[in-house]
């Protein structure tokens, strides 16, 4: 069980680190192609990774979006067989049109162990911190 826990936490850390350095390729590779996404700043759920990649590209082009840093705290992990439910508080420093913005949010990322033994995110839910 400890080995599984460490593997899921390592997958979460890789995903967060890629996001924090605005490494799109590594960040999106951490998600299954059929992963789903619910973000408080969107009026709809994103039904797969490709939809999220299109949205991200739109934010970059239209809004000048760029992630500058991301810090994870209050971390928790629940494991249910081949599924890990990772929750944490997120402080993100981003840039929109050259203006720095800091956001405080809560996030749930659901990981699933693939047939190759690697853990990929299959769902992400981001909400505003209260």
- Domain of residue 82, CATH code: 3.10.450.50
DSSP state of 55: H
For residue 1, the model assigns a pLDDT of 83
Segment 12-26, tens digit of pLDDT: 999 999 999 999 999
- Say if CB 86 and CB 111 are below 8 A apart: yes
Dist. CA 130–CA 119, nearest whole Å: 30
Length of the chain: 130
Segment 65-106, tens digit of pLDDT: 999 999 999 999 999 999 999 999 999 999 999 999 999 999
pLDDT at 37 over 90: yes
Mean pLDDT confidence for 31-56 = 97
Domain that holds residue 108: 2-128
- Split into its structural domains, the chain has a count of 1
Query: Count of CB atoms within 10 A of residue 64's CB?
Result: 13
Mean pLDDT confidence for 26-42 = 97
Burial category of 62 from C-beta neighbours within 10 Å (exposed 0-12, middle 13-18, buried 19 and up): exposed
Reference 104, options 67, 70, 75, 59; nearest CA is 70
Dist. CA 75–CA 42, nearest whole Å: 24
DSSP state of 46: B
Dist. CA 76–CA 46, nearest whole Å: 24
């Amino acid at each position: 069980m400890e080995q599984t826990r460490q593997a899921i936490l390592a997958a979460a850390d890789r995903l967060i680190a890629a996001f924090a350095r605005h490494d799109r390729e590594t960040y999106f590779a951490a998600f299954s192609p059929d992963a789903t996404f619910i973000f408080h700043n969107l009026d709809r759920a994103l039904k797969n990774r490709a939809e999220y990649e299109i949205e991200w590209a739109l934010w970059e082009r239209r809004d000048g979006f760029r992630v500058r840093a991301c810090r994870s705290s209050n971390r928790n992990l629940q494991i249910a067989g081949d599924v890990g439910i990772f929750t944490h508080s997120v402080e993100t420093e981003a840039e929109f049109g050259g203006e720095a913005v800091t956001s405080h949010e809560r996030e749930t990322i659901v990981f699933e162990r693939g047939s190759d033994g690697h853990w990929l995110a299959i769902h992400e839910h981001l909400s505003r911190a209260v």
